[in-house]
Structure 1
């Protein structure tokens, strides 16, 4: 039996919205079971795993198809979570997830779900969620946790503390979520992993330091008894564009730049030198450190900060 025009339109919209991945139930709501089996047998569609089909010949799956397969294979109520959900929401970064994280209602049996998941795809970790309120859900494509919940979970499931901090800082720096929104998620999740570390990172972000290297600088100052910088300072450059200084002690007119990998690029390097000259011309002192030094040579960095602040009039 051929599908009607309305059914064909429904199928096209469904395939478009779900990156070509459907459950058997979804496919047979539009087409007859015999028609679906014929599409699979003819090679136009293929079976991903039990209960899941893809409207394309077998082959490498796109990132979006991987997300859909994980969510649909996990069953009713499942949502994409963690770093994958944050990526689906627009978070940019170089982190790679070793597994796709999926949240399911707490009364579901994760072991049963794992047996249904397909081979030849990234591993899928199924987490049973006791706390998953409407504020933590985002009805997207695919269904996923909201950005704040995604960032908190991703930080908790990250491989290292540094990676956890980077994810939280990047989410705030890219304006994907605010520290207040992440704090509200932590309030709802008293058992969240790395809860204390995430709280501290959010306090530093709220204080004006957004990149992880800047957060490390603030913590270095606290550990070594130095005054804490006031965070990012906004300035206008010669062309009238708004620029941000990484860290600034206004009282002592000391400006510190923490250079990441992008500063090694020739174009960035030249622009940084021009900006540094302008800071000096305006009467500020300027120090520059690499992010590596801030993290791995804190004693040397602290000594130079102390000397610069003392020269500018600071007294412990």
Structure 2
């Protein structure tokens, strides 16, 4: 919920509370009020002590915005929101809301005891340290956060597994929140980034046309089983004049592969897929369709089918 804009005659405390969603450090509060006045506000219940050194200028449950401010202020000077938390604040959808991720300079340590004693209505906070945080990687925002590109690169490195790391990068690009080149520029500044090689390969796949994790999986399958690499997201106009996008297409052998996600199970989507498949066939192309889970769990079966289809169309593997 948005806090009301302070009145024209509001004092410095009101404006600071407005800018920081009602969350202040004790140091900020005592610069504007006496220590006794601050203690009195907390003891009377008008203000709330969240953790050591962090106060709420109210006594209700913490909102999402307030939790973000608590995370940054409790982590100490120069802390910024980072990783999936910062990316979500920048508008990337589908990311985990908790825990909250914060980045601090490697030269200083966050107060761990403080972060372990957060109240029950506060999300857990994970603090990461970095020796590389140039000014261009920090977004001017309230609270401060890393840029979308830096956030996604960090999030991919901190992810629990390879698929989650790839999905984070693909989501940011697919939702048009960041460009592969922007992610690559950040990676160039982070020579020791976790999963650096995987991130670079995933960005190359995305730049080559892969728009979803299933398409990235399919490209990896083609490389692993020494199949020719297809063109991705090729534009095509169907018989009715509508623009279609082919998931994977080998133009030389006129073979089209469609990787179906869960949304293809919807009845209307299924009917639309059939019309598109018939249109491809009547134009003389071959089409293969695989569910995304099969590409992921049984790549050898998918590769064998694709290999036979390419061979039937005239492809011959290199010796």
What TM-score, normalized to structure 1?
A: 0.88
Q: 2:307: which partner in 1?
A: 306
Distance 1:246 1:52, change over 3 A: same
CA-CA distance at 1:7 after TM superposition: 5.7
CA-CA distance at 1:21 after TM superposition: 2.1
Distance 1:47 1:240, change over 3 A: farther
Q: 2:3: which partner in 1?
A: none
Q: 1:62: which partner in 2?
A: 63
Are the aligned partners of 1:183 and 1:199 in contact in 2 as well (CA < 8 Å)?
A: yes
User: Within 5 A, what are the aligned runs for 1:49-198?
Assistant: 49-59=51-61, 61-93=62-94, 95-96=95-96, 99-110=99-110, 113-117=111-115, 118-120=118-120, 121-198=122-199
Partners of 1:183 and 1:219 lie apart in 2 by 19
- Deviations 1:207-259, CA, capped at 9 Å, x for gaps: 11121110111111111121111111123456755432211112222221111
Q: Equivalent residue of 1:84, what SS?
A: helix
Q: Equivalent residue of 1:48, what SS?
A: strand
Distance 1:201 1:37, change over 3 A: same
Partners of 2:78 and 2:237 lie apart in 1 by 49
Deviates most, 16-25 or 81-90: 16-25
Q: 1:8: which partner in 2?
A: 10
Q: 2:298: which partner in 1?
A: 297
Distance 1:62 1:218, change over 3 A: same
Q: Equivalent residue of 2:284, what SS?
A: coil
Q: 1:45: which partner in 2?
A: 47
Partners of 1:305 and 1:21 lie apart in 2 by 58
Distance 1:244 1:14, change over 3 A: farther
Distance 1:35 1:216, change over 3 A: same
Distance 1:308 1:126, change over 3 A: same
Q: Equivalent residue of 2:315, what SS?
A: coil
Partners of 2:18 and 2:280 lie apart in 1 by 52
CA-CA distance at 1:92 after TM superposition: 1.1
- Deviations 1:53-107, CA, capped at 9 Å, x for gaps: 2234332x333222111001112211011111111111112x4265322111222
Distance 1:8 1:238, change over 3 A: farther
CA-CA distance at 1:197 after TM superposition: 0.8
Distance 1:141 1:279, change over 3 A: farther
RMSD: 2.4
What TM-score, normalized to structure 2?
A: 0.87
Structure 1 residue runs of 5 or longer lacking an equivalent are none
Partners of 2:190 and 2:102 lie apart in 1 by 17
